[in-house]
Amino acid sequence: EALGKQGWEILSETCELIPRELITIADAKRGDIGNTSKAYARAILDELDCDGVTVSPYLGYDSLEPFIEYQDKGIFILCRTSNQGSTDFQMLKTEYLGQKRFLYEVVADKASLWNRYENIGLVVGATQQEELKKLRLSYPKLPFLIPGIGAQGGDLKATIENGTNPNGELAIICASRGILYARSGSEFAQGAAEAAEQMRDAINHYRKRF
Amino acid sequence: EALGKQGWEILSETCELIPRELITIADAKRGDIGNTSKAYARAILDELDCDGVTVSPYLGYDSLEPFIEYQDKGIFILCRTSNQGSTDFQMLKTEYLGQKRFLYEVVADKASLWNRYENIGLVVGATQQEELKKLRLSYPKLPFLIPGIGAQGGDLKATIENGTNPNGELAIICASRGILYARSGSEFAQGAAEAAEQMRDAINHYRKRF
């Protein structure tokens, strides 16, 4: 968007260049009222044909439903994000079903209730290991999308220990800046490829214990 | 976005066609981590040169800061939205500064604390008159962006009574579908103009009591 209409073109071409056997998740963080959400869902899941998307929960169920209705796509709801300001609201104590729960826990619980097509996951930052562990114990079957490794400083080993299920699965660990900006200029592609390979090897190393 | 790169082109051309003396607010509902938020802010407030923008609070302060730093633009934070699902999270009771407050009230309070440049406002739906009234009493100086009139069924008279300050000001009442889809085909422009004029006259009628 920062690049205007060229931005969409580049995004669209990038999506086309990615081989179909690789999974694409658009980190769009959309959350709007029904008819607008429907248009966003169509743009990202139909036009760009991404396999998954991130969505923001503040507007509630009807803002997410147009995404969830794409039953063969993965819908990742922002739950406990990796950024510093995430404590402002996500860590508020709320009254929920007669219990005291953090707001992010209510989001996780509602997400699991809305999961009739089994296509919902949660976004949980690798900078929040305590909550990652707690959420994995509470929701053993939900896929987690885990940003915050690399540039943001999340620990990979702890993330795999806390974020995967007992088989070392259901955690999609993502790195953006650490890979995108590994090297610049003409070495960009080489640098990004190496950084991605290193991370893949590290992930598989830590997963060996499973 | 639903129209891909053409969508951005149309949006950009539309913004250029709007005379500068009219105020433009992009209902983008963005809320992302710092560097991405910065890019969104630049796209909407620099490139499109909109006068204001709506943002979503779930990620907290650092996700909104890049917008707030545009001191001469209006930054409207989603607070109590007009859609049905808005009760899912916005109406949760939370513990905040030793008091029990709804989540939307915490958002409003933080917004007022972050308002050092006096460029922050709240989005409060016209379908939520009770909360609109309560928020206006608590925050007499914050501008409110009020959607939900028209297609969503919010009452205009009550909105002006509850949403404006004692001088009948600080409420930006918006209607989208009721105006955009007033008539279709070749009568579109005429229909939209008439619907907008009717609404303007109605607003001014109800404001007469001030």
Q: Which residue of A has its CA nearest to B56?
A: A58
Q: Which pLDDT band holds residue A156 (cuts at 50, 70, 90)?
A: very high
A vs B: CB pairs below 8 A: 165
Any A CB within 8 A of B12 CB: yes
Whether the pLDDT of residue B23 is over 80: the answer is yes
Listed by start position, the domains of chain A span 1-68, 71-175
- What pLDDT digit, counting tens, does each position of A188-203 carry? 999 999 999 999 999 9
pLDDT of residue B181: 87
The number of helix segments (H) and strand segments (E) in chain A equals 9, 8
Most distant pair of Cα atoms in chain B: their distance: 58
What pLDDT does residue B6 have? 87
Nearest to B56 among A1, A58, A177 (CB): A58
Mean pLDDT across chain A: 94
Q: What is the mean pLDDT of residues A45-60?
A: 97
Question: Long-range contact list for A197-204, CB < 8 A, 24+ apart?
Answer: A199/A149, A199/A150, A199/A156, A199/A173, A199/A175, A202/A156, A203/A156, A203/A160, A203/A173
- The ipTM value here is 0.94
**How far away is chain B from the Cα of A91, in angstroms, using its nearest Cα?**
10
With cut-offs at 50, 70 and 90, classify the pLDDT of residue B153. Answer: confident
Angle in degrees, CA B36, A108, A37, rounded to 5: 50
* Residue A170 banded pLDDT, cuts 50, 70, 90: very high
Could you tell me if B160 and B199 are in contact, meaning their C-beta atoms sit under 8 angstroms apart?
Answer: no
Render pLDDT for B88-143 as a digit per residue (tens, 0 to 9): 999 999 999 999 999 999 999 999 999 999 999 999 999 999 999 999 999 999 99
DSSP states of chain B as a string? -TTTHHHHHHHHHHHHHS-TTS--EEEEEE---HHHHHHHHIIIIIIS--SEEEE--TT-HHHHHHHHT-TTSEEEEEEE-SSGGGHHHHT-EEEETTEEEEHHHHHHHHHHHT-TTS-EEEEE-TT-HHHHHHHHHH-TTS-EEE--BSTT-B-HHHHHHHHS-TTS-SEEE--SHHHHTSS-GGGHHHHHHHHHHHHHHHHHHHHTT-
- Regarding predicted confidence, which is higher, A183 or B137? B137
Q: Quick one: which of B150, B198, B149 has its CA closest to B172?
A: B149
pLDDT tens per residue across span A76-87: 999 999 999 999
Q: What superfamily would CATH give domain A71-175? A: Aldolase class I (3.20.20.70)
pLDDT band, residue B163 (cuts 50/70/90): very high
Q: Which pLDDT band, with edges at 50, 70 and 90, does A181 fall under? A: confident
Q: Does residue A68 register a pLDDT over 90? A: yes
Quick one: pLDDT at residue B134?
A: 98
- The answer to whether A83 contacts B94, with C-beta atoms less than 8 Å apart, is no
CATH of domain B72-175: 3.20.20.70
